[in-house]
């Protein structure tokens, strides 16, 4: 059986399944696809010398559509979980999505690690019902944990200095720090790391080997870091949407 890589090279087109999710994959004001995943997929296509065709798909339809051959690979900010890996194969991670903490500058002195925040007078805030809320309660035993149903009031509480820090899934903490650089500071470490991987159909070791090699190269040559800095830690790209 010929591998996906063989087929793609013969056709000259790589079909990539994605799901729209800001700032991973979204359409700009001209209707063009932009985002972290889009840059990753385009670079992969460029390095293979093929065109890239994006196939937007509902999130829950990504794995079934890969299995029926609607596209060649999934590049969609997908975490390679053991449950998903029963159905499809995953590459080594090309990035990690985690939980981060963003701190009000008044409380940032001497904080080098997220556990430094676990003090009696500190207040850690998060959104009700999120993985961040569960993690905050599990992590912080001495600090007060307060949960908010809505994002607006929660962020305002932090900006007003009524809370020490906010715990949430990436990239929200980094983007808040980028938006309010005079007030907030990002603690640049992940509390948990979720591996973001490329999804490949089972039974294709050649494609998996090629992609793992490619990921090693782009992680080591600074390409991924450059994209992380642009899409996660800055808000320069917002102008492309308006």
Q: Are 58 and 18 in contact (CB under 8 A)?
A: no
Q: Which residue, chain included where needed, has tokens 């969609």?
A: 76
Confidence (pLDDT) at 241 = 87
pLDDT at 2: 85
| Residues 6+ away with beta carbon under 8 Å from 236 | 230
- Location of structure tokens 């102008």: 239
CA separation for the pair 209, 3 (Å, rounded): 11
- Per residue in 39-64, pLDDT (tens digit) is 999 999 999 999 999 999 999 999 99
**Cβ(137)–Cβ(101) below 8 Å:** no
List 89's β-bridge partners, or say none. Answer: 200
Cis peptide bond N-terminal to 23, omega within 30: yes
Q: Which of 8, 62, 29, 1 is nearest to 214 (CA)?
A: 8
87-116 pLDDT, tens digit per residue, is: 999 999 999 888 999 999 999 999 999 999
Q: How would DSSP label each residue in the chain?
A: ---HHHHHHHHTEEEEEE--BTTTBEE-TTS-EESHHHHHHHHHHHHHT-EEEEEE--GGGHHHHHHTTSSSEE-SS-B--TTGGGTSEE-S-SEEEEEEEEEEGGG-TT--SGGGG--TT-EEEEETTSHHHHHHHHH-SSSEEEEESSHHHHHHHHHTTSSSEEEEETTHHHHHHHH-TTTEEEE-S-SSEEEE--EE-SS-HHHHHHHHHHHHHHHHTTHHHHHHHHHTT--GGGGGT-
Closest CA to 106 of 169, 158, 170: 158
- Rounded Cα distance between 82 and 80, Å, is 7
Run means of pLDDT, 10 residues per run, the chain, 242 residues: 92 96 91 96 98 96 97 95 95 93 96 95 94 92 96 96 95 92 93 93 97 98 96 90 84
Quote the pTM value.
0.83
Round to whole Å and give the CA distance between 132 and 130.
5
């Amino acid at each position: 059986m010929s591998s996906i890589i063989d087929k793609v090279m013969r056709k000259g087109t790589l079909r990539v399944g994605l799901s729209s999710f800001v700032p991973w994959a979204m359409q700009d004001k001209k209707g063009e696809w932009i985002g972290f995943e889009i840059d990753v997929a385009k670079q992969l296509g460029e390095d293979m010398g093929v065109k890239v065709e994006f196939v937007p798909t509902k999130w829950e339809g990504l794995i079934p559509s890969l299995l029926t051959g609607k596209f060649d690979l999934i590049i969609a900010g997908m975490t390679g979980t053991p449950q998903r890996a029963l159905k499809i194969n995953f590459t080594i991670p090309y990035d990690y999505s985690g939980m981060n903490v963003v701190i009000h500058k008044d409380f940032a002195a001497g904080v080098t690690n997220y556990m430094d925040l676990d003090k009696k007078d500190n207040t850690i805030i998060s959104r009700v019902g999120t993985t961040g809320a569960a993690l905050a309660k599990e992590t912080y035993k001495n600090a007060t944990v307060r949960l908010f149903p809505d994002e607006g009031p929660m962020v305002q509480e932090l900006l007003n200095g009524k809370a020490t820090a906010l715990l949430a899934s990436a990239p929200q903490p980094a983007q808040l720090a980028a938006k309010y650089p005079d007030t907030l500071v990002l603690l640049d470490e992940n509390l948990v790391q979720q591996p973001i991987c490329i999804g490949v159909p089972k039974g294709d070791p050649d494609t998996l080997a090629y992609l793992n090699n490619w990921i090693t190269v782009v992680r080591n040559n600074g390409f991924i870091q450059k994209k992380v800095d642009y899409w996660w830690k800055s808000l320069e790209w917002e102008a492309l949407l308006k």
